[in-house]
């Protein structure tokens, strides 16, 4: 009698499914660990909302051919005043600092950025910060254009 010797090449379907399920669970756990925390995302969301409000105010000032004012409340950490946009309040722990001309400070903690019909504005430098990481939002006085830049906490003081 001859014995049949099978040469076994490859893997069974069950073995492949087990390996795929293990890889899936490992990748899901790594994705969960690698996602940024909410505290890291909050300043970016606030910056996006601030830039949206600033650009909307400038656009509406040009379109309506009249001055539009965007108010910033440093005490309550909120801003608003752009037509068609609700006021936005930042998350706890996000600090806000504003550098602007002295006449733009209405009273302690309240600042206004004025956009004019020709697209120019009063100008401002707004810093949003959580911990040592900050993001600057610069509003050019001549063109009203906004730009952002990430700033390490060692480069500016409160």
Pick the CATH number of 38-155 from 3.30.930.10, 3.40.50.970, 3.55.40.10, 3.20.20.70: 3.55.40.10
Would you place residue 158 in the very low, low, confident or very high pLDDT band (cuts 50, 70, 90)?
very low
Predicted pLDDT at 34: 64
Q: Calculate mean pLDDT across residues 149-157.
A: 67
Residue with tokens 């069950």: 14
Predicted pLDDT at 126: 94
135, two tokens: 């993001």
Spell out the SS3 assignment of the chain: CCCCCCCCCCCCHHHHHHHHHHHHHHHHHHHHHHCCCHHHHHHHHHHHHHHHHHHHHHHHHHHHCCCEEEEEECCCCEEECCCCCCCEECCCCCEEEEECCHHHEEECCEEEEEECCCCCECCEEEEEEECCEEEEEEECCCCCCEEEEEEEHHHCCC
Q: Dump pLDDT digits (tens) for 71-125.
A: 999 888 899 887 778 888 888 888 898 988 766 666 778 889 999 999 999 999 9
* pTM tops 0.85: no
Position 57 pLDDT exceeds 60: yes
């Amino acid at each position: 009698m001859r014995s049949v010797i099978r040469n076994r090449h490859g893997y069974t379907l069950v073995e492949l499914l087990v390996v795929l399920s293990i890889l899936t669970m490992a990748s899901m756990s790594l994705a969960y660990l690698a996602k940024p925390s909410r505290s890291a995302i909050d300043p970016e969301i606030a910056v996006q909302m601030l830039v949206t409000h600033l650009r909307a105010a400038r656009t509406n000032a040009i379109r309506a051919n009249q001055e539009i004012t965007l108010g910033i409340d440093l005490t309550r950490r909120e801003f608003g005043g752009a037509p068609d946009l609700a006021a936005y309040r930042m998350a706890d722990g996000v600090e806000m600092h504003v550098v602007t001309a002295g006449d733009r400070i209405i009273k302690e903690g309240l600042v206004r950025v004025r956009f004019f019909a020709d697209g120019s504005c009063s100008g401002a430098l707004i810093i949003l910060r959580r911990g040592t990481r900050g993001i600057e939002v610069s509003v050019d006085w001549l063109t009203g254009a906004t730009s952002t830049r990430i700033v390490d906490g060692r480069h500016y003081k409160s």
